[in-house]
């Protein structure tokens, strides 16, 4: 791919990644008031190694190509055919699948740098992006680390030290214990002094790993154990700190950009309050909650903190904001943030390009007064997760079909996978970051609805049902959100979209029309009837449709591609092209455009439709077939109270019971780790352990039997 070169007569071209950002289109290039310029005369590096994988590696490579910089990808053996490997100019294998032996293997990555002659390293996020030892080793070899210097990484990477520095820089901080917590009993003592609830979190790292909220002494002991284990597993550092938990806050962060000449900017905020297990799910920029004065105050404090540690690169200062707009420093991430695309959309800046320029020693090109808020951007993190289990437990598998909604306007998809890619237990289950942009928030959210409906993902369970429900929920649409949004809106867990009476009729009518269209197609071959002597084509059908254990009798009539379905005395008009080979099913229902997806269609009349984001299982039969089906035996469901199955793929960290042990309801039986997160598996009832089918170190799949109870 050739690097982009701008000409003197074509200035201020807005950065585009894949199919993005998003203002007024002119001659196929997207223009806005303020944008990134790639200057071919501004020399940076000849070759950059990206010490990461997946979508962020692809993201960095795209900007490097636009700047005329050659790229080197590193990969584990299982990632040898990954997209980031294919799009880079060179690729080097750095070890086997486990991250500790590949993407965290500093020796192997240093050898790759020497082997390829890379002059600089972009670490992306996660892995070694905030590892001061890695930055030191690069400096010793004369290789540029595209990020801040080691002092800033150490100061801000240690949550205890960063809090002290923030206090000295007059940044608002959360009350808490400023030292390292030695053991669980000391944690209980400190928590009692601070007052419940408290947040127990890893001193090193971030991303929601090594974090627990405790409301009493017992939860503090348990939280200390799990947090220290997760912190050690994820960051190699099990030190913990405890601070007051701000109940019902918003999580709002400020993007900062600073050069090596003492200049620093804040690039507005990102609203990141929609979270599960302290990990972000949906983000937007700007925030509906901040007024100009609060935005400015937060930005100025973020810049003050960056200046206090002589920060130079892109970084993010995270704050908790209460209902009265009081804000408190949470942490500073000394790297490119996962959700950086929404800042790029509203400012027109390419943050990766800015990081590369700064690393080379160039001054910032802009002043604070230059930074705009143009429009509104929303990001949905699309994960290979089951949203019906704790708002998202990891799913693994191969993407048998994959189609990004890039034919829609103002849609950006940052991904590092393709059809045929494997989602494995070894790495984060993120599929992509889906970003939409509009002049207003309402427009951006409507585009997100359409993008989620048109996003085709097969082969793994994904969280699109949850994402779509979030963005249309009245509380989210009104901006009434906090970090407790998900547990408050779905106190009994996420159950999918709850159909209204009108939506139920739409779904039933669509399934019936689809069934008839399939029946008619099966009677034809190359456009003609398969058997020439069959009766004239029927134009009316009487069908029985089952949905959620309800049985509905429907009458269907057809005229061309238009179907009229009568349900309980009401008529529903359904029309479309009915391309049964397409993954997408764009139709019009009573004059309203909808995009559905047919996930399954069998000869037995079973149809699974993705409608309004959620998958619904239906069964469509002729009246004769329905009358006969009642004689078919039904499968007896498994009694799950006496068995414990793994709810996700992962590895067994610990088993707390053995055959013959008596366990109480809710007692921990074993711990499963998936994607660096530890999950406690508990007994569903009080009983005696009959048998144990796993041991520490075992790899288990979703649904695997772990323990049987008597």
Kindly report, residue by residue over 508-517, the tens digit of the pLDDT. Answer: 999 999 999 9
| Cα dihedral: 287, 290, 296, 302 (round 10) | -60
Bridge partner residues of 200 (DSSP): 212, 242
Q: Could you give the 3-state DSSP secondary structure of residue 617?
A: strand
Comparing 25 with 464, the larger pLDDT belongs to 464
Q: pLDDT value at position 236? A: 73
pLDDT > 90? residue 177 = no
Q: pLDDT value at position 259? A: 97
Domain 249-374 = CATH 3.30.470.20: yes
Token representation of residue 639:
């009694």
Of the candidates 212, 335, 412, 558, the residue annotated as catalytic is 335
Give kind and range of the element (H or E) at residue 103.
none
What phi, psi does 485 have (nearest 5°)? -55, -55
How would residue 180 be classed by pLDDT, with cut points 50, 70 and 90? confident
Does 335 qualify as catalytic in the annotation? Answer: yes
In percent, the amount of the chain with pLDDT more than 90 equals 73
End-to-end C-alpha distance for the chain, whole angstroms: 63
pLDDT > 70? residue 118 = yes
Q: What's the CATH number of domain 176-244, 3.30.1490.20, 2.40.10.10, 3.40.50.300, 3.40.50.2300?
A: 3.30.1490.20
Q: CA 248, CA 252: separation in Å to the nearest integer?
A: 13
Kindly report, residue by residue over 300-330, the tens digit of the pLDDT. Answer: 999 999 999 999 999 999 999 988 898 999 9
Q: pTM for this one?
A: 0.83
Q: pLDDT value at position 562? A: 94
Q: Could you give the 3-state DSSP secondary structure of residue 44?
A: coil
**Residue tagged 């007994």 (tokens):** 683
8 Å CB contact between 651 and 672: yes
- Give the pLDDT mean for 424-451: 96
- Give the pLDDT mean for 662-686: 87
Q: CA 698, CA 707: separation in Å to the nearest integer?
A: 13
Comparing 235 with 637, the larger pLDDT belongs to 637
Q: Which of 64-73, 192-201, 411-420, 601-610 has the lowest mean pLDDT?
A: 192-201
Q: What is the CATH number of domain 382-496?
A: 3.30.470.20
The pairing of beta strand 393-394 with beta strand 385-386: antiparallel
Domains 176-244 and 501-522+537-630 share a fold: no
- Interior CA angle at 299 toward 296 and 302, to 5°? 150
Query: Over the chain, what is the mean pLDDT?
Result: 90
Q: pLDDT value at position 70? A: 98
Q: CA 706, CA 656: separation in Å to the nearest integer?
A: 12
- Give the pLDDT mean for 156-184: 88
Q: CA 395, CA 573: separation in Å to the nearest integer?
A: 38
Q: pLDDT value at position 41? A: 84
Q: CA 586, CA 593: separation in Å to the nearest integer?
A: 7
The pairing of beta strand 198-202 with beta strand 144-145: unpaired
pLDDT > 70? residue 394 = yes
Cis bond upstream, residue 286 (ω within 30) = yes
Q: What is the CATH number of domain 643-709?
A: 2.40.50.100
Residue ranges per structural domain of the chain = 47-153, 176-244, 249-374, 382-496, 501-522+537-630, 643-709
pLDDT > 90? residue 148 = yes
Q: What's the CATH number of domain 501-522+537-630, 1.10.10.1150, 3.30.700.30, 3.90.1150.10, 3.30.420.40?
A: 3.30.700.30
Q: pLDDT value at position 475? A: 98
3-state helix, strand, coil in the chain (%, to 5): 25, 30, 40
Q: CA 127, CA 109: separation in Å to the nearest integer?
A: 12
- Give the pLDDT mean for 493-503: 96
Q: Could you give the 3-state DSSP secondary structure of residue 117?
A: coil
pLDDT > 70? residue 360 = yes
Domain 47-153 = CATH 2.40.170.20: no
Q: CA 78, CA 503: separation in Å to the nearest integer?
A: 44
**What are the b/e assignments for 533-543, b being 16+ CB within 10 Å?**
eeeeeeeebeb
Q: DSSP letter string over 499-528?
A: --HHHHHHHHHHHHHHHHHHHHHHTEETTE
pLDDT > 50? residue 10 = no
Kindly report, residue by residue over 59-88, the tens digit of the pLDDT. Answer: 999 999 999 999 999 999 999 999 999 999
Q: Could you give the 3-state DSSP secondary structure of residue 693?
A: coil
Q: Which of 387-396, 490-499, 553-562, 597-606 has the lowest mean pLDDT?
A: 387-396
Q: pLDDT value at position 525? A: 67
Q: Which of 89-93, 538-542, 698-702 has the lowest mean pLDDT?
A: 538-542
**10 Å Cβ neighbour count for 115?**
12
Q: CA 72, CA 117: separation in Å to the nearest integer?
A: 10
- Give the pLDDT mean for 110-122: 98
- Give the pLDDT mean for 486-490: 96
How would residue 633 be classed by pLDDT, with cut points 50, 70 and 90? confident
Longest dimension (CA), the chain: 90
- Give the pLDDT mean for 40-50: 94
Q: Which of 361-375, 389-403, 449-463 has the lowest mean pLDDT?
A: 389-403
pLDDT > 60? residue 537 = no
């Amino acid at each position: 791919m050739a690097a982009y070169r701008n000409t003197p007569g074509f200035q201020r071209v807005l950065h585009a990644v894949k199919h993005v950002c998003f203002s007024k289109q002119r001659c196929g290039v997207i223009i806005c008031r303020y944008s990134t310029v790639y200057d071919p005369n501004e020399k940076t590096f000849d070759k950059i190694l990206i010490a990461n994988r997946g979508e962020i590696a692809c993201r960095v490579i795209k900007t490097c190509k636009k700047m005329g910089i050659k790229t080197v990808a590193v990969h584990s053996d299982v990632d040898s055919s990954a997209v980031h490997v294919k799009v880079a100019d060179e690729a080097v294998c750095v070890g086997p699948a486990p991250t500790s032996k590949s993407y965290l293997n500093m020796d192997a990555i240093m050898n790759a740098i020497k082997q390829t002659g890379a002059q600089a390293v972009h670490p992306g996020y996660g892995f070694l992006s905030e590892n001061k030892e890695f930055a030191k080793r690069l400096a010793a070899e004369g290789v540029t680390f595209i990020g801040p210097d080691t002092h800033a990484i150490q100061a801000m990477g240690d949550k205890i030290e960063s809090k002290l520095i923030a206090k000295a820089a007059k940044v608002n901080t959360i009350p808490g214990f400023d030292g390292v917590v030695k053991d669980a009993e000391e944690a209980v003592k400190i928590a009692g002094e601070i007052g419940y609830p408290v947040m127990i979190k890893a001193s090193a790292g971030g991303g929601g790993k090594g974090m627990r909220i405790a409301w009493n002494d017992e939860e503090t002991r348990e939280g200390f154990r799990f947090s220290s284990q997760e912190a050690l597993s994820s960051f190699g550092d099990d030190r913990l700190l405890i601070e007051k938990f701000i109940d019902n806050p918003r999580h709002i962060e400020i993007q900062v950009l600073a050069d090596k000449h003492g200049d620093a900017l804040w690039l507005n905020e990102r609203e990141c309050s929609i979270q599960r297990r302290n990990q972000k799910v949906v983000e937007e920029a700007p925030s509906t909650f901040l007024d100009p004065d609060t935005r400015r105050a937060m930005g100025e404090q973020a810049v003050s903190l960056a200046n206090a540690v002589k920060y130079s690169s892109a970084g993010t200062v995270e704050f908790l904001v209460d209902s009265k707009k009081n804000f408190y420093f949470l942490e500073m991430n000394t790297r490119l943030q996962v959700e950086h695309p929404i800042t790029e959309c509203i400012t027109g800046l390419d943050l990766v390009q800015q990081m590369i320029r700064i690393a080379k020693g160039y001054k910032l090109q802009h002043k604070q007064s230059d930074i705009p808020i143009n429009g509104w951007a929303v990001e949905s993190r699309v994960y290979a997760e089951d949203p019906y289990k704790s708002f998202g437990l990891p799913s693994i598998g191969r993407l048998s079909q994959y189609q990004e909604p890039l034919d829609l306007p103002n849609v950006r998809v940052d991904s590092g996978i393709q059809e045929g890619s494997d989602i494995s237990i070894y790495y984060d289950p993120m599929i992509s970051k889906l970003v939409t942009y509009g002049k207003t928030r309402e427009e951006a959210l409507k585009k997100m609805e359409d993008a989620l409906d048109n996003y085709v993902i097969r082969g793994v369970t994904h969280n699109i049902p949850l994402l779509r429900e979030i963005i249309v929920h009245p509380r989210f649409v009104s901006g009434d959100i906090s970090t407790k949004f998900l547990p408050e809106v779905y106190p009994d867990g996420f159950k999918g979209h709850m159909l209204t009476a009108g939506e139920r009729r739409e779904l039933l009518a669509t399934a019936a029309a689809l069934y008839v269209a399939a029946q008619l197609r099966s009677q034809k071959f190359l456009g003609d009837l398969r058997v020439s002597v069959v009766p004239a084509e029927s134009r009316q059908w009487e069908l029985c449709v089952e949905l959620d254990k309800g049985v509905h009798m429907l009458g269907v009539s057809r005229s061309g591609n238009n179907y009229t379905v009568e349900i309980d005395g009401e008529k529903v008009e359904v029309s479309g092209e009915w391309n049964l080979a397409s993954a997408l099913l764009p139709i019009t229902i009573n004059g309203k455009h909808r995009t559905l997806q047919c996930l399954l269609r069998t000869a037995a009349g079973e149809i699974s439709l993705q409608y309004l984001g959620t998958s619904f299982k239906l069964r469509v039969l002729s009246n004769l077939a329905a009358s006969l089906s009642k004689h078919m035996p039904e499968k007896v469901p498994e009694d799950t109270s006496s068995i414990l199955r793994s709810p996700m793929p992962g590895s067994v960290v610990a088993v707390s019971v053995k055959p013959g042990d008596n366990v109480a309801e809710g007692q921990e039986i074993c711990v499963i780790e998936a994607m660096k997160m530890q999950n406690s598996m508990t007994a569903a009832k009080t009983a005696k352990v009959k048998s144990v089918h796993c041991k520490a170190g075992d790899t288990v799949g979703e649904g695997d039997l772990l323990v049987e109870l008597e």
